[in-house]
Amino acid sequence: MAILEKELTTATLVAKNDKEAAKQVLLDEAKLGLLLTEKGINYDIEEIRKFQDKFEQSSSYHRQKGVTNLTLPNGFTARYLSGYSRYTPYSLVVEGDVVVLYDDGRRLGVVTFPTTHPLTEQLLSSGEKFRHIANVSAEGGISVAYSSECSLKDRGEDCLFCSINERAKDGVLNKVLIKSPKLVAEAYHLARQAGVGNFFRLTGGFVPERRELEYYLDVADAIRERYSSFYGVGIIGAPVDYSVLYKYKEAGFKNISHNMEVWDKNIFAAICPGKEKRNSGWQHWVDSLEYAVDIFGKGNVHSNIVGGLAPLDSTLEGIEYLASKGIVCHFSVFHPEKGTPLEGYRSPEASWHWALLDKATDIFIRYGFTTLQMYSGPASGPHSGQVFQIKKGEFEGSRLAQYKYPSLD
């Protein structure tokens, strides 16, 4: 009996060590993703295009031609990539029917590119294609940006990093400027029928608060003409009257998000002048988020910070504070966009972004958030969600599988 117990203990230790070794491999791959964003990748675009999804290439969210995201050899999806660079140690080489990533001549492994769901080409009753109304995520949900423009541009109060109004200039990619609630509900129905409506994200440019509330309620009502419930998030500005948040919950939204973008009060006012002036200032945004927790519950209230617009300590302070109140504060990698006031600026180096990613995911784990909550907020969720999963041991062997939302049907 003692010998058997010793053998079992040894086997457990070996398995644990294997798991820890695999975890480190995946964390190193997450760091690599950030290095690719900082350094760029060398490749022959004509060769690479043969492996890329043609609709992914033309997405209005990826106006920059070339490689903007890819899945690395062990399954980590690298996002926010800065595209082509001639002066970088990283390169993509076509070898037969696969694309291989190299680091200064050292073969790292086969990479793959995102593929668009077949639903994207399906026609709606209006004659528009699904992809003109909604995007299907790799996680099995859909995102709708109901407006292709932000009204803050008319006031000269755009967030300095945001490219929504620049993207709106691409008429071919933004055929529907305002998407009617019935059209959004029809797209949601098609997604649900195709098994990819397990999460619904509704967002858009800044509009006056009353119109925003009415629109979101109209969309929810249109969806509930067919379905008794849906799982999703409404991304809205901080309302003047916090009590209207109850209306979003009553309409069927299970999550709510106010994307602050910057935690530091002074930098918030400078980078997001419209959000500062039109939503009663920084403190009001924070108070609204805290108020929302009483309505939606811990982990179901979200915000977003653009990583790299403010000092690291300040950013982590914000993530920690909000987490302590039950709010998941997601974050992205600042990427200077063409046509914005911050075009030509530089994002911090990869080590800065890794420090944010590493410490923030530790915060999320410490406050007991779930994997579903990590993916249930703004579109930046997968950035930290993947590292959250790795640290929680949610992977098999040394490969991180693509996260999928739980089925609603």
The domain ranges of the chain are: 18-111, 118-392
Give dist(CA 184, CA 225) in Å, integer: 13
Q: What percent of the chain has a predicted confidence (pLDDT) above 90?
A: 73
Query: Which single residue is written with the structure tokens 């920059």?
Result: 64
Give dist(CA 142, CA 278) in Å, integer: 29
Return the DSSP state at 385.
H
69-83, 198-212, 220-234, 376-390: least confident range? 198-212
Report residue 61's pLDDT band, with 50, 70 and 90 as the boundaries. Answer: very low
Cβ proximity of 238 and 285 under 8 Å:
yes
Contacting residues for 349 by C-beta, under 8 A, at least 6 apart? 38
**Average pLDDT score, the chain:** 90
Residue-wise pLDDT tens digits, 105-122: 999 999 999 999 999 999
Give 8-23 as a DSSP string.
HHHHHHHHHHHHHHHH
Name the 3-class secondary structure at 369. Answer: coil
Q: Nearest CA to 400 among 99, 103, 29, 80?
A: 29
Cβ proximity of 73 and 32 under 8 Å:
no
| End-to-end Cα separation, the chain, in angstroms | 48
Give dist(CA 285, CA 275) in Å, integer: 9
Report residue 65's pLDDT band, with 50, 70 and 90 as the boundaries. Answer: low
Cβ proximity of 81 and 69 under 8 Å:
yes
Residue-wise pLDDT tens digits, 274-328: 888 877 899 999 999 999 999 999 999 999 999 999 999 999 999 999 999 999 9
Name the 3-class secondary structure at 359. Answer: helix
User: Per the structure block, which two tokens stand in for 388?
Assistant: 């959250």
Report residue 156's pLDDT band, with 50, 70 and 90 as the boundaries. Answer: confident
The number of beta carbons lying within 10 Å of the beta carbon of residue 289 is: 24
Q: Does domain 118-392 have CATH number 3.40.50.1000?
A: no
Cβ proximity of 260 and 235 under 8 Å:
no
Sheet hosting strand 106-111, strand order edge to edge = 90-95, 98-103, 106-111
Residue 167 is predicted with a pLDDT of 67
When pLDDT is averaged across residues 70-99 and rounded to a whole number, the result is 94
